Amino acid sequence: MKKIALFGICGKMGKSMLSELVLEKDITVVAGFDKTNIGTDIGVLIGREISGIKVTNNYEDIKDTKPDIILDFTGPEIVYKNILWAIENKIDVIVGATGLKKEEIEVIKEKSESLKSKVFIVPNFSIGAVLMIMLSSMAAKYFDNCEIIEMHHDKKKDAPSGTAIATSIAINERKKFNKNKFLEGENETLEGSRGAFSDGIHIHSVRLPGLLAHQSVIFGSKGQTLTIRHDSIDRSSFYPGLILAIRNLDKLPYFAYGLDKLIKI
């Protein structure tokens, strides 16, 4: 039986994943961590029976429950602190929150490996999105250039998305497209109109109500384009990937990045 502490339990993603996790036979949620609804029974959060487990914002309360794994769906303002605390306390952590800086990820990698505490950072739990990244990496070598358009709901706090950044990294490992943000003679008449620039690829972020999580990777070469697109239309799309991560965490090294580590094509 895997004992789970769910961080960000009161957020939309946290509640959505909690609703699914409580139905599993080999998993039990033993703690909930958040900055809101402190003292609320986690069963109340999802309209189920009282569980006796209350939301806390105290690390020591979490430690007392002796979780096997922390699932972190908090946000960029606290996720880094949460991960370092988990590492120092020898609690494995699966990170679904985005917004980590590259230098922070390097520190996390170093600490997890030196202290032998597992950290699995997953920018996107949707298996379809992971396949999009993998297929984009495969396609890259056949095209002259690439740009990414990612679209999310208007409550998302970071831009570009972790998935877009992960996609640009994966593509850049296969083929380097642009050394510089602008082509020779190119300029922006309106600053920012060419988007962000990550690992040789332009990324454009859209934030609108009505969206959830969507991304198009557009490749171009002489006389043709190829678009690889993925859409998450409901948060339940993330659950199969989350369960895959939980049940296979023991197979991974101390530090791993991306659900592709568990998917083969």
73: domain CATH number is 3.40.50.720
Let me know whether 228 and 240 are in one domain.
no
Let me know whether 158 and 61 are in one domain.
no
Let me know whether 248 and 164 are in one domain.
no
Let me know whether 56 and 109 are in one domain.
yes
Segment-wise mean pLDDT, segments of 10 residues, the chain, 265 residues: 96 94 95 96 93 96 97 94 98 92 95 97 93 96 97 92 92 94 91 94 98 97 98 93 96 95 90
Let me know whether 65 and 87 are in one domain.
yes
Can you give the CATH number for the domain in which 212 is found? 3.30.360.10
d(Cα 5, Cα 94) in Å, to the nearest integer? 10
Specify the pLDDT at position 157.
85
d(Cα 123, Cα 130) in Å, to the nearest integer? 9
Range of the domain at 59: 2-121+236-262
Let me know whether 117 and 240 are in one domain.
yes
**Pairing of the two strands 201-207 and 145-152:** parallel
Let me know whether 151 and 81 are in one domain.
no
* pTM reported for the whole predicted model: 0.83
156 noted as active-site residue: yes
Specify the pLDDT at position 226.
98
Let me know whether 87 and 190 are in one domain.
no
Specify the pLDDT at position 184.
87
The C-alpha angle 55, 57, 61, rounded to 5 degrees, equals 80
From the candidates 152, 204, 214, 230, give the one annotated as an active-site residue.
152
From the candidates 118, 156, 204, 214, give the one annotated as an active-site residue.
156
204 noted as active-site residue: no
Let me know whether 222 and 258 are in one domain.
no
How many domains, in total, are found in the chain? 2
Give the three-class secondary structure for 29.
strand
Let me know whether 131 and 226 are in one domain.
yes
Let me know whether 59 and 161 are in one domain.
no
Let me know whether 86 and 216 are in one domain.
no
